Amino acid sequence: MRLNGARAICQSLVEEGVSTIFGLPGGAIMPLYDVLPEFTQLRHILVRHEQCAGHMADGYARAAAAIKKPQRLRANYHKNCGVRQFHACYSVGDDKLWGVVRAKKGIDNSLAAIKSCRAARPDGEMIYVILDNLSAHKGKKIKAWCTKNNVELCFTPTYSSWANPIECHFGPLRDFVLNNSDHRNHTVLTKRLHAYLHWRNDHASDPGLRERLRRERARLRSERQRRWGRPAQQPAAAAA
């Protein structure tokens, strides 16, 4: 079989796992429709307008993705190697993000993260650490060390992690490191994660990164139906 441009397109769609396509015969697209019957794996849906095809394909892809398997993350999807915890820290003043991957989350590891925050500001001045309202962050050992080293812990309210300034930085991290990834194991994933942190801190003003942060902040605010510093909007009273 001679592989012309039309067959190459259909073959590519099949190899990418596409099963349903939307289109409108006519003009320059007719060579594709001539060979389409050869590819029984493709189901064609006739539309009445070119724009309808684009909108229908987009909507179908979004709906179909919701019922199929999620994006595969090999190192964590099947839990073959267990799970890992990323202890992340962010300096608001310096705009620096850092962290370490550990096998579990506990008081000792939380204290190590807080110590790294103190080390980032070694002048002894009071620092304020915003963190989730978890028991692993409230051990006596942590409180004693913070009191001795001029560190004040500021806990977010329960179920309000979105209020922590570090949360928006996890959006770009997911985009650039995790989404659509296929890391062989946690070691490879950890190396990729730290490579991103180095790049991010060296290119904090990158336009693409700043735009992704802006969209992630907007998503977090809209998710909780409120803006920073503004009370939650009350639903309008129903008319009598």
For residue range 3-50, list pLDDT tens digits in order: 788 889 998 888 888 889 998 888 788 888 889 888 888 999 988 888
Predicted structure pTM score: 0.60
Quickly name the fold that domain 72-227 has: Nucleotidyltransferase; domain 5 (3.30.420)
More confident residue, 233 or 163: 163
Which residues lie across from 23 on neighbouring strands?
A: 46
Q: Please report the pLDDT score of residue 106 as a whole number.
A: 86
Q: Backbone phi, then psi, for 215, in 5-degree steps? A: -70, -35
User: 90: closest CA among 125, 114, 112?
Assistant: 114
CA distance 73 to 184: 9
Res. 78: pLDDT tops 90? no
Least confident window among 39-53, 75-89, 139-153, 179-193: 75-89
Measured CA distances, 63 to 57, 59, 150 (Å): 10, 6, 52
Domain range list for the chain: 7-67, 72-227
Helix axes 140-148, 107-120, angle to 10 degrees: 20
User: 127: closest CA among 154, 107, 96, 87?
Assistant: 154
Res. 142: pLDDT tops 90? yes
CA distance 27 to 29: 6
Q: Please report the pLDDT score of residue 80 as a whole number.
A: 61
